Amino acid sequence: MDYITPSSSHSSRKHLAVLRQRLSQVASSWAKDDYRAFVSFYIRILPKLINVERCTIFIMDIGSNRICSMFGTGLTEKQIEPPLEGSIVGRVIRSGGTCVENDLKSHPGFHLFIEEQTGFVSRNMLCCPIKSISGNTVTGAVQLLNKGDGLPFDEDDVKKVEEIAQFLSISIESIVLNKEILRIAGYLNKEVGRLEQASVRGTRIIAESPAMREVLDLVAIVSNSPINVIIQGENGTGKELIARMIHERGERREKPFVPVNCACIPENLVESEFFGHEKGAFTGADTARKGLFEEASGGTLFLDEIADMPLRIQPKFLRAIQEGEGSRLGSSRLVNYDLRLISATNKDLAAEMKKGLFRDDLFFRLFSVEIFIPPLRKRQEDILPLALHFLEVTTLHFKKNVHGFSSEVLDMFEQYSWPGNVRQLLKEVERLVALTANGEVISIDNCSRELLAFHRNRQESAGNRRAMNLALDQHVRNIETVLIKKAMKKARGNKSKAAELLHITRQGLLKKIKRYQLGDFRLEP
């Protein structure tokens, strides 16, 4: 049997867990709803104060160059996304200066596109930047449209709105940072779970079945080749363990193995996570940071759930793979990448490509060899060896002395379909060890609800089969008894003639008469 030990240490998991907890505490301590109520108040009051038809507050999305309408007259969040180039809002955010346009009809721009979409005609506009608390960057903008009575915006209007924007800056930045902290905390939460899954408990790869032996044979072939690999299989089949095995057996084993779950990274942080960022690239980027491509330099970058990579990041990702280079956010300097890519998915990438959710050029660049890990239900020979291995490592981890599984439990383990695969089996064994007293044998009573329901269904099915068999035997007995009596009556007790009528031998008839205790017939003359 082959096994590997992940490089993720207990201290790393502990550090991430503590960081996740602190971030969650910080986020929960900020009254985000209070800030939103404050901003919404200004949306209601500004049109009356300045005498305009509409007011909208835009924000810059952290980690991207997108501008989104956050609050506005008759709007919900992110209904309008003006571009940085080609819109007055974008110009204000880029320059950090207030803009007044009192004759919008003579100026082409994004406002004309919105007019076509909504039917709302904009005559004039006052747009003021919302600067960060430090004053170094712009986090958003306040936009006022159509001053009443056909009047133009004047200097007095500008002063009022700029003063209000100073108060809004605290609320806007607090809302944005709160949202990002919660996203990062959620990301860390999933990463802690992933690291726990890849911890020393239960990492042995059991390969008793021919199907898994074929997988390990293929792993041995591709390990010493620089070829990109994709691993396909259902959730819980051990795709990351196979990826680690390929890395550990290859020439890059002394270099980093960097795993990342593409489904766990918030979409607006994907580019920063993979390519890194420079200091000041966006709000909150207080220091420069390497991306995952740089962190995996010389080693292996493992992309789990690759099918969930956002479509908008795929072109830059493709270029990084093709050219072996990319740039951090906020920088035009190219960084060279030297790494091996191993991808994994539980989805059909070809089907995702047909749906337009995955680029075909990236599909063909990601891998040259495909490794398919069969689900646990397709490799029954591995179930009991895995269960015994998990029992060994779990009792050691829990510091318990459990005297093995009952035969009833082992029989059920072999018959169950394990929709959660190896991961579900590990969790089931952990549950059983935790609920079984020291010195006791693991019984079926402590199994999870899913397995207990499966066990009850098996028992009911077996009982029905037994009942059916008994009913069938009795039915056959009744029919044969009636037919024998009729034949004997017609043959006037002559067993040879009765046997001919029944198309059986005389000896066979005598056996049935004895079995059914039908010895009261008249003797042959």
User: Is residue 330 situated within a structural domain?
Assistant: yes
**Do residues 224 and 241 both lie within one domain?**
yes
Instruction: For residue 64, tell me if it sits in a domain.
Output: yes
Considering the domain architecture, whether residues 422 and 299 belong to the same structural domain is answered as: no
Write phi, then psi, for 298 (nearest 5 degrees): 85, -15
Backbone angles phi, psi at 2, to 5 degrees: -100, 150
Same domain for 259 and 342, yes or no, is yes
Can you give the pLDDT at residue 188? 59
pTM here is 0.54
Say if residue 18's pLDDT is above 60. no
Contacts of 150 (CB under 8 A, 6+ apart): 123
pLDDT of residue 70: 66
Residue scoring higher pLDDT (25 or 345): 345
Helix 506-515, helix 449-490: angle, nearest 10: 120
Which pLDDT value is given to residue 373? 94
d(CA 387, CA 82): 57
Question: Whole-angstrom Cα distance, residue 323 to residue 7?
Answer: 29
What confidence category does residue 334 fall into, taking pLDDT thresholds of 50, 70 and 90?
Answer: confident
Contact 326, 292 (CB under 8 A): no
Whole-number pLDDT of residue 140: 85
110 domain residue, yes or no: yes
- Any domain includes 187: no
What is the extent of the structural domain holding 429?
A: 377-447
Residue 6 forms part of a structural domain:
no
Number of domains in the chain: 4
Domain boundary among 413, 447, 481: 447
Q: For residue 198, is it within any domain?
A: no
Mean pLDDT of 492-496: 85
**Residue 484's domain is classified under what CATH number?**
1.10.10.60
* Residues 21-40, mean pLDDT to the nearest whole number: 55
Averaged pLDDT, 387-412: 90
Which CATH number fits the domain that encloses residue 335?
A: 3.40.50.300
**What's residue 26's pLDDT?**
46
Q: What is the pLDDT of residue 199?
A: 41
Mean residue pLDDT of the chain comes to 80
Question: CA dist 488 to 246, 476, 480, 498, Å?
Answer: 79, 18, 12, 5
Q: Look-up: residue for tokens 């008894």? A: 481
Contacts of residue 101, Cβ cutoff 8 Å, sequence gap at least 6: 88, 107, 124, 125, 127
> Which pLDDT score is estimated for 194?
47
Res 118 pLDDT > 70: yes
In terms of Cα–Cα distance, which of 127, 52, 137, 49 is closest to 94? Answer: 137
More confident site: 264 or 519: 264
Judged against a pLDDT cut of 70, whether residue 251 lies above it is answered with yes
The secondary structure of residue 520, as a DSSP letter, is: T
Residue 126, beta-bridge partner list: 100, 144
Question: Is the per-residue pLDDT at 11 higher than 60?
Answer: no
Residues 278 and 353 grouped into a single domain: yes
285 in the same domain as 175: no
User: Minimal CA–CA distance to 26: which of 175, 178, 191, 190?
Assistant: 178
pLDDT band at 34 (very low <50, low <70, confident <90, very high): low
Q: Which two tokens stand for residue 211?
A: 């199907």
Task: Say whether pLDDT at 16 is over 60.
Answer: no
Domain endpoint, select from 324, 351, 374: 374
- 270 and 316 in contact (C-beta within 8 Å)? no
- 15 located within any domain: no
Please say if the pLDDT value at position 68 is more than 80: no
More confident residue, 20 or 392: 392
Tens digit of pLDDT for each residue in 411-441? 899 999 999 999 999 999 999 999 999 989 9
In a domain, 56, yes or no: yes
Distance of alpha carbon 268 from alpha carbon 65, whole angstroms:
10
Residues 302 and 361 in one domain: yes
In tens, the pLDDT along 454-491 reads 988 888 876 666 555 555 566 667 777 878 888 888 88
Confidence of residue 189 (pLDDT cuts 50, 70, 90): low
**Claim to verify: residue 356 and residue 407 sit in the same structural domain:** no
Residue at which a domain ends, from 447, 473, 507: 447
Top-confidence residue, 28 or 47: 47
Q: Tell me the pLDDT band of 74, cut-offs 50, 70 and 90.
A: low
Tokens, residue 238? 């051990």
Shared domain for 362 and 263, answered yes or no, is: yes
Average pLDDT over residues 290-314: 90
**Mapped to the 3 state alphabet, what secondary structure does 420-452 carry?**
CHHHHHHHHHHHHHHHCCCCCCECHHHCCHHHH
Residue whose C-alpha is closest to residue 138's, from 233, 60, 245:
60
Q: How confident is the model at residue 167 (pLDDT cuts 50, 70, 90)?
A: confident
Alpha helices, DSSP H, located in 96-209: 110-118, 155-197
Quick check: 312 pLDDT over 80? Answer: yes
Kindly indicate the confidence band of residue 180, based on its pLDDT and cuts at 50, 70 and 90. Answer: low
Contact 522, 494 (CB under 8 A): no
Same domain, 279 and 250: yes
User: Are the beta carbons of 387 and 204 closer than 8 angstroms?
Assistant: no
Q: Is the dihedral of CA 499, 502, 508, 513 positive or negative?
A: negative
Q: How far from the centroid of its chain's Cα atoms is residue 266's Cα?
A: 12
Please tell me whether residues 298 and 416 are part of one structural domain.
Answer: no
For the ranges 16-20, 26-30, 32-36, the lowest mean pLDDT is seen at: 26-30
CATH code assigned at 438: 1.10.8.60
Q: Are 350 and 474 in the same domain?
A: no
Instruction: Mark whether 171 and 101 lie in a shared domain.
Output: yes
Using only the alpha carbons of the chain, give its radius of gyration. 36
